[in-house]
Amino acid sequence: MSTFSYEVFHAVVSHKTFYQAAVALNVTPSAVSHSINQLETELGFPVFIRNRTGVELTSDGARILPLIQQILNTEEQLRQEAASINGLNTGSIRLAAFSSVCINWLPPIIQDFKKRYPKIEISLVQKSNFNQIANQVKVGSVDLGFTALPLNEKLPVKPLIKDRIYCLTPKDFVPKNKTYITAEDVAGENFILQQTDYDKDTKRALDQYAVRPNAIRYSIDDQSIVAMVESGLGMGILPELALQNLSGTHVNVYPFDQDFFRTIALITNKVQVKAPSTRKMIQVITDYIQTRYPKNLLA
């Protein structure tokens, strides 16, 4: 079975239609259809359900997706290793990250990486859900992901920093002691946060202060939380990294009377961790974190 059939399969999964997969692969739609038919014949079962709007994976197709992705990743690793031996420094790297990493870390990281390795292509997907990032890394849709610990999936993990968690309040709110937030300050207050944050370190902070679940409202991203706090709809909880670009906003930022942190980590696909481009990107990320947080680097 040729790897081209696997490439076609992966392209159809990514683009949802035979036509868009054909455009991405620079082949004809009939070539895509023929390749999928051949793949299904050789496997002995259908991998896609065809409909008017496109295609979707069958349950059997979904089972083989991680295996095909692993084969493609291994082939890419082999190609990169050969290029590295020949001194070409080519290849690709696929990243997944949440918004505050995309905004604050990745622009200088990618800029530095492109200066060092201009022939290596970089692609990036932004996700708001840490579990989605981990799953994409696990199945091999991306090579590296930024997430927060703890991690449910068994993947290579490189802890990066401890990111302190703060409380956001409307501009007219001042805690009783003028300096930090206590349980007395949050009694009876509403909180606005992201669902994924509540499932991790933020929940620990709110539980510590006995904040009622019915006093919690959810927002889609960090900027929406800031906007809602500005409007007086409640307090917010955000890590330090998400607070880097608050200039011009009308909110106050206070520490809690206890220390709360989230641990930001870099996770890697088990196959792609050995690829030259992945190793190079890990080094650039480590160099950046070491320079920016010389006293806080966990790795």
Adjacent-strand bridge partners of 57: 48
Give CA angle at 19 (16, 20), nearest 5°.
Answer: 55
Question: pLDDT, tens digit, for every residue of 73-125?
Answer: 888 888 877 777 666 577 889 999 998 999 999 999 999 999 999 989 999 99
| Residue 115 is assigned to a structural domain of this protein | no
Question: pLDDT, tens digit, for every residue of 195-245?
Answer: 766 666 777 888 888 888 778 888 778 888 888 999 999 999 999 998 887
Alpha-carbon gap, residue 274 to 282, rounded angstroms: 11
If asked whether residues 168 and 81 sit together in one domain, one would say: no
Across the chain, the runs of DSSP E, i.e. the strands, are: 48-51, 54-57, 91-97, 120-126, 144-148, 157-170, 191-193, 216-218, 235-239, 251-254, 261-268
Give CA angle at 174 (168, 175), nearest 5°.
Answer: 90
Whole-structure pTM over 0.75, yes or no?
no
The count of domains in the chain is 2
| Residue 278 is assigned to a structural domain of this protein | no
**Domain membership of residue 253 as a residue range:** 161-263
Of 57, 88, 119, which residue constitutes the final position of a domain?
88
CATH number for the domain spanning 4: value is 1.10.10.10
User: What pLDDT is stored for residue 87 in this prediction?
Assistant: 60
CATH number for the domain spanning 227: value is 3.40.190.10
Give the strand pairing for 120-126 and 191-193. unpaired
| Residue 124 is assigned to a structural domain of this protein | no
Which of 196 and 280 is assigned the larger pLDDT? 280
